[in-house]
Amino acid sequence: MAAPRPPRPHRDDVRIALAGLLGGLLFWAVGLGTRPAGEPIVLLEGRWPVLLPLVVTAGCELLRRARPRTGLLIGTAALALDTVTQGSLVTLVMFTDLVYAAVLYGPPGTARRVPRITGLLSVAGTVVPFAIWRDPEALLIGVVIGIVGFTPAATGLIVRNHRDAAESAQLRAEQTALLAELDRTQAVASERARMARELHDMVANHLSAIAIHSTAALSLDDPDTSKKALGVIRENSVAGLAEMRRLIGILRDSGGDLEPAAAPTLDGLGALVDGARTNGLDVTLDTGTETGAGAGTDLCTDLGALPAPVELATYRIVQESLTNALKHASPGRVTVALTRRDCSLCIAVTSPYAGHDSPRAPGSGAGLVGMRERVALLGGTFAAGADGARWAVRATLPLTEAEYGSEGEDA
């Protein structure tokens, strides 16, 4: 396995290194140094020793982003060497940049330790020489250490904190935008599902009746039967077209005379059952409480006041169940039973079921899915399946207002 290649120096770091090297050579050429020859600290006399720490420090500038800790360590050694020569101001300036870069680009541990170490050195460089020599000029040693070490380290730490704060703010903004997009996507998906349920519930019943009666009109050579079938077909096609126009008006938000129809309530179940009878179903409707049942025409009176979402869901479940019975049920009686208990409304729609007959009209299978979704939105329970020789659809809807979500908006 090949060893990973070291990171290449950043282009700006190359420019900084070249500028520092050329500036240092210019200072060296004109003879500018930080210390005159003959001082006790100058151990390497002459002009040439100044070039070695200058070149090394300039080389460390190439590592200020790629390897900031390595560049600082080597730069510290080069600065120590520079202190025993006549010195170069450019070497000193480049070292301060290495300290700044180590804090700004280095790992978090380095960013925390370098300001502490340089701060302690500044304090020690101020207190110890003054305690030894008792000379106020000795305090300048700590000042120089602070300017060369602690000041760039503190500056790098401040810039790093601001940069991290800006990145955190940008990340939060991106996360907020992502969450907003997810909410928008979920809202669109929820609205599409709601519209699909409404479209299916409003139109499928009429189209199923049209399909069944058109098949009867085509298969029977009886003028009276065909005339009755055509009458039912026309009635359902007109009603279905009206529902489609209302839905299109809602989608286009065009206003005018295409206002959406009012949300159906339980008082409309009588008309719904009558329509199913017209389409050929033998339907009975029973409503009441747990202690008694009746067949009253005013369902709100029989069942008491119900929340609007429950009435809408009940109407749609009965409507879809009758549509399925029209398409799939065997000949026989279909029963619709509504029973109110203390905290729930129970719905049961049963129809004859042979298990092998082909449907009289094609279906997509979305009806059961839509009923299940409506019940789930209200926190109820739903079950549908064969129960012996009958097909049963059963749903239980809670009557607590606090449990209702977006289903109440389906109107």
Final residue before a domain boundary, out of 159, 175, 191: 175
Residues 286 and 394 in one domain: yes
Final residue before a domain boundary, out of 143, 175, 207: 175
What pLDDT score does 202 carry?
65
**Within-domain flag for 225:** no
Residues 18 and 159 in one domain: yes
Please give the residue range of the domain that contains residue 147: 11-175
Q: How far apart are CA 294 and CA 171, in angstroms?
A: 63
Q: What is the CATH number of the domain that holds 366?
A: 3.30.565.10
Question: CB–CB of 193/226 below 8 Å?
Answer: no
Q: Report, as an integer, the average pLDDT of 260-277.
A: 78
- In this prediction the pTM is 0.54
Residues 17 and 162 in one domain: yes
Average pLDDT over the chain, rounded to an integer: 81
Residues 292 and 409 in one domain: yes
Q: How far apart are CA 345 and CA 307, in angstroms?
A: 11
Residues 403 and 279 in one domain: yes
Following DSSP, what letter does each residue of 206-248 receive, concatenated? Answer: HHHHHHHHHHHHHH---HHHHHHHHHHHHHHHHHHHHHHHHHH
- Residue 62 predicted with pLDDT over 70: yes
- Residue 250 predicted with pLDDT over 70: no
Question: CB–CB of 71/38 below 8 Å?
Answer: no
Residues 278 and 402 in one domain: yes
Tokens of 72: 């600082």
Residues 51 and 153 in one domain: yes
- The least confident of 50-59, 152-161, 293-302, 317-326 is 293-302
- Residue 406 predicted with pLDDT over 60: no
| Paired residues of 351 in beta bridges | 391
Residues 156 and 278 in one domain: no
What pLDDT score does 56 carry?
96
Q: Coil, helix or strand for 385?
A: strand
What pLDDT score does 73 carry?
96
- The enclosing H or E element of 398 equals strand 390-398
3-state secondary structure 336-366: EEEEECCCEEEEEEEEECCCCCCCCCCCCCH
391 backbone dihedrals φ, ψ, rounded to 5°: -100, 130
- Residue 357 predicted with pLDDT over 80: no
What pLDDT score does 365 carry?
61
Residues 169 and 301 in one domain: no
- Residue 71 predicted with pLDDT over 50: yes
Query: Domain tally for the chain?
Result: 2
**Within-domain flag for 243:** no
Final residue before a domain boundary, out of 127, 160, 175: 175
**Within-domain flag for 47:** yes
Give Cβ neighbours of residue 388 (< 8 Å, ≥ 6 apart).
none
Using pLDDT thresholds of 50, 70 and 90, give the confidence band for residue 130. Answer: confident
Q: Report, as an integer, the average pLDDT of 199-209.
A: 67
What pLDDT score does 237 carry?
75
64 or 138: which leads in pLDDT: 64
Could you report the per-residue pLDDT of 135-161, keeping only the tens digit for each? 888 888 899 999 999 999 999 999 999
What pLDDT score does 389 carry?
83
Question: CB–CB of 150/195 below 8 Å?
Answer: no
Mean pLDDT comparison of 128-132, 387-391, 401-405, highest-scoring range? 128-132
Q: Report, as an integer, the average pLDDT of 31-42.
A: 75
Using pLDDT thresholds of 50, 70 and 90, give the confidence band for residue 272. Answer: confident
Residues 277 and 397 in one domain: yes
**Within-domain flag for 128:** yes
- The least confident of 75-89, 169-183, 244-258, 262-276 is 244-258
Residues 286 and 407 in one domain: yes
Question: CB–CB of 52/81 below 8 Å?
Answer: yes
Mean pLDDT comparison of 104-108, 221-225, 228-232, 282-286, highest-scoring range? 104-108
**Within-domain flag for 380:** yes
- What amino acid occupies position 300? C
**Within-domain flag for 303:** yes
Q: How far apart are CA 163 and CA 184, in angstroms?
A: 31
**Within-domain flag for 180:** no
**Within-domain flag for 254:** no
Residues 62 and 163 in one domain: yes
